[in-house]
Structure 1
Amino acid sequence: MTLVDDLASAAATGNTAGVEDLLRRGADVNGVNKYGRTPLQVMMMGSTPVARLLLARGSRPNVADSSTGTTPLHDAAREGFLDTLRVLLEFKADPGARDHFNSRPVDLARQSGHDDVVEFLKLLEEAN
C-alpha cells in the first residue's frame, strides 16, 4: 500500500490521529487511492475532525466522483451530516454543484429526508 492508500483508509475510518501522522509523513492530501478517490472523498462523513484536518491541509472540497459527479458536499447532505457539511462550506465547497443526475446537495438531502440539512442549505442560498 502507498501513503495515499493508507491516508484514504485512515480518513475512511475516521482516524484523525492516523490522518495527521500520514500527512506529517508526506502523504498527498489530494492524492488518489487505488480506487481513484481522494481521502476527502472517502472520509467517514460523520468525522468532522478528519474533514477539518484534510481541508486545512489543502484538500480540494469540490473534487467530484468520476462515476457519479457527486462531491463530498453531496455525500454529507445525502447522509445528513450537517456538521461535516458546515466544515466543507467553510472551506469553499460549492452548494450549487450538480452531479451527473443534475442534483445539487440540497436535492439529495431532500430525497433522503434530512430536513435540517435542507433548511440550512435553503437559508444559505437565500443569504447569497
Structure 2
Amino acid sequence: MPLEDDLTTAAANGDTARVESLLQTGAQVNGLNRFGRTAVQVMMMGSSSVAQVLLKHGADPNVADPRTGSTPLHDAARTGFLDTVRLLVEYTADPEATDNTNCRPVDVAKDNGHADVVAFLESL
C-alpha cells in the first residue's frame, strides 16, 4: 500500500502521531491515495491537530473535490468545526471558493446551522 493511502487513513482517523510519522518517512503531503484524494481532503475535520500537521507540512488547503468542487474549507464549514475552519483560513484557504453548486463555505455553514462558523467567515 502506498504511503499516501496510509497517510489519508491516518488523517481520516484523526491519528496525529501517525500522520506526523508518515510525513517524516516520506509520504507526500499532497499525494493522492488510491481514490484520488489527498490527506487534507479526507482528514477528520474535528481534529485540528491533524489539520495543523498537514498544513504545516504544506498541504494545499484549496484542493477541490473533482466531483463536487468542495474544498476542505467547505467540509469543515459544513460540519461546524470552527477550529479547523480557522486553521484552514490561516493557511490560505480561500473563503470565497465556490463548489459545483456555486456555494461558498459560509453558505454551507449557514445551511447547516453553524452560527459560529458563519460569524467567523463573515468577519473576514
TM-score bracket relative to the smaller structure: over 0.9
Which letter maps to 2:34?
K
| Residue in structure 2 matched with residue 64 of structure 1 by the alignment | 64
Distance in 1 separating the partners of 2:50 and 2:9:
12
Counterpart secondary structure, 2:123? helix
Distance in 2 separating the partners of 1:20 and 1:119:
32
Q: Deviations over 1:43-67 (max 9, x none)?
A: 0000001101001101000000000
Which letter maps to 2:68?
T
Instruction: Write the mapping of 1:8-47 to structure 2, written as runs, cut at 5 A.
Output: 8-47=8-47
TM-score with structure 1 length normalisation? 0.96
Counterpart secondary structure, 2:122? helix
Deviation at 1:91, TM superposition (A): 0.3
TM-score with structure 2 length normalisation? 0.99
Which letter maps to 1:101?
T
Distance in 1 separating the partners of 2:50 and 2:83:
12
For structure 1, the residue ranges without an aligned partner over 5 or more in a row are none
| Residue in structure 2 matched with residue 117 of structure 1 by the alignment | 117
Please, what is the CA RMSD of the aligned residues?
0.4
Query: Between the two proteins, what is the percent identity of the paired residues?
Result: 63
Deviation at 1:123, TM superposition (A): 1.2
User: Number of paired residues?
Assistant: 124
| Residue in structure 1 matched with residue 84 of structure 2 by the alignment | 84
For structure 2, the residue ranges without an aligned partner over 5 or more in a row are none
Return structure 1 stretches of 4+ with deviation > 4 angstroms. none
Which letter maps to 1:54?
L
Deviation at 1:111, TM superposition (A): 0.3
Q: Deviations over 1:98-119 (max 9, x none)?
A: 0000000000000001011111
